Amino acid sequence: MSKAYLGIGTNIGNREENLKNALLSLNLLPTTKVTAISCVYETEPVGYAEQDDFLNMAVEIETELTAQNILGACLGIEAGLGRIRNIKNGPRIIDIDLLLYEDEIINTPSLVLPHPRMFEREFVIRPLLDIDFENPLFNREWAENELTGNGIKKYLNKIEID
């Protein structure tokens, strides 16, 4: 069984529903269980400013799938939930990023792990630290200027899945 961490973001439509649908879909993957979820944050867009605010969260999964399998599954779930890829860094119904898979270092054209820009993005790191503040994969000493709280606010302590 392997542990992996995923970042999820959405800024189109019913954002809470989109997050719930992503969690439900992940939990339906073969051999896979969502084992921890972060709080939900409302975050200002980064990379392309002229779009609505995001909801972002992180999840931990346990799975027998490989990192490549998970990547493929995430792209499949995104498509299934109606994601259309047009503007680079633009608005999306759902974005599911594989951030970490155990302590594996992967450098292939389709997948780079750990996610190369995760440590620069507070909308990724904040939720991960909710899940496991101690995890050596992402608990390195954060410089004061890295986790500012700017452009990110807690939106929900726990998303309710009925």
Cα-flanking dihedrals φ and ψ of residue 60, to 5°? -105, 135
56 binds, among ligand X6L, Mg ion, none (CB under 5 to 8 A by kind): ligand X6L
Q: Which residues within the stretch 2-21 sit at the binding site for ligand X6L (CB under 6 A)? A: 9
Q: How far is the CB of 32 from ligand X6L (least distance, A)?
A: 22
Binding mask 44-83 for ligand X6L (x = CB under 6 A): xxxx------x-x---------------------------
Residue 30 near residue 65 (C-beta atoms within 8 A): yes
Phi, psi of 129 (to 5 degrees): -70, -25
Structure tokens at 128: 């991960």
Cα separations (Å) of 3 from 11, 17, 56, 64? Answer: 27, 25, 20, 9
Strand ranges, E, within the chain: 2-10, 33-37, 40-43, 54-63, 95-101, 106-107, 112-113, 152-156
* Active-site residue flag, 95: yes
Q: Looking at 20-28, 42-50, 79-87, 153-161, which segment touches ligand X6L (CB under 6 A)?
A: 42-50
Residue 140: active-site member: no
**DSSP assignment, residue 36?**
E
Applying CB under 6 A, does 89 fall inside the site for ligand X6L? yes
Span of 23-31, 64-72, 87-95, 103-111 interacting with Mg ion by CB under 5 A: 87-95
Quote the least distance from Cβ 48 to ligand X6L, whole Å: 6
Please give the DSSP secondary-structure letter assigned to residue 7: E
Q: Is 52 marked active-site?
A: no
Which 100-119 residues touch Mg ion, going by CB under 5 A? none
Provide the binding-site residues for ligand X6L, judged by CB under 6 A.
Answer: 9, 43-47, 54, 56, 89, 95, 121, 123
